[in-house]
Structures are given as C-alpha cells and as structure tokens.
Amino acid sequence: MKLTRVERAILANQYRIFEFLDPKQSDSYKWVREVLECGYELEYEQIFQEVYDDDNALTKEECSEVVNIMAMFEALNRSYDTLKDKSGIEKALIDFTGFDGNNESKQMAFARFFCTAGSPRFQGLCKGDGFNSHMETLSRYRPMLVEWKRLKKSYQLTKEQIKQIIAV
C-alpha cells in the first residue's frame, strides 16, 4: 500500500489529536502516528487491517439488496404474527437466518451493522447470532425477493402471499 506524503501528514495529524483525546490509548496512537510520519510502509497493513479493501466493500446495489432482503423478512414475520390461521406455514422458513460467513461475509457484516450501529429499523430480526447462517442463503433469498417485489413489497401479506414467497 502506498500513501502520498500529504495523506500521511493528514492521517498523522489525526492520530496526534487522538493521542490527546484518549490518554489511555495514547501509546497506540503515537505508534501509528510515527509509522505514518516516517513512512514505514511495512506497518501500513497493521494500521489499516480493520478498513475493508475495495474487494470487500459493498456497492450501493449490494447494500440495497441486503436492506430489501431484511425488509422482506420483516414483512413476512409481521404478517405471519397477525395471521389467525398459521397452518401450512413453517415458521423456520420465514425467519431471517442471515448470510454465510464464508461466502457472503460482506452481506453478513452489513446486516450486522444495522443491529449494532444503533439503527432501530431491523431490531426484530436480531437474534444475537451475528447473522451467520453457516450456509449460503442468497440463492434462496433472491427468488423470494423477486416474488415479494411482484407483490409490491407489501408489509401486510396474506397467508397465501406468504406461502407464495417461501415456496419459490
């Protein structure tokens, strides 16, 4: 990884401020600042290990897909809860199981973000499991999403509509 002299200066100044704002972590911030000021490229990966590279970042479309999937499961669950007759619908099929941590980790991290970043939007889907389904789910979710969109993204689904969505 290469950083320009200006980028290093800007980042080093940020870390100099952090040193004063958080005295308990000042030694760590000082180390990072010195790495940046001196241009010790070998250590850059250590500094930026928690910042996703472009291959792991989600596009706007991928983010929208995750939000739509979560909204669909929220609609499925809310609708199911209001049904008087739930027969013929397996509850497990309308529960949001998350995404595969090995193959859908970007989506899993974004779903987790919604529940850990203080967003109240999908709190009902949070089960404390980190959204790791331990199996690929996008191939199942995508056809369901197509069907839900065909139903105009309704949040008040009938029993038959729920069955249509989970049957695809």
Q: Which domains does the chain have, with CATH numbers?
A: 5-51 (1.10.287.680), 56-167 (1.10.3190.10)
Phi, psi (5° rounding) for residue 23?
Answer: -60, -30
**Alpha-carbon span 41 to 83, nearest angstrom:** 60
Residues in the chain: 168
> Which residue has tokens 């509850």?
91
What is the reported pLDDT for 9?
97
Mean pLDDT, 10 residues at a time, the chain of 168 residues: 94 96 95 96 89 83 95 96 95 94 92 77 81 95 97 93 96
Question: Which pLDDT value is given to residue 118?
Answer: 64
The pLDDT value recorded for residue 129 is 77
Per DSSP, helices labelled H in 1-87 are 5-21, 26-38, 44-47, 60-82
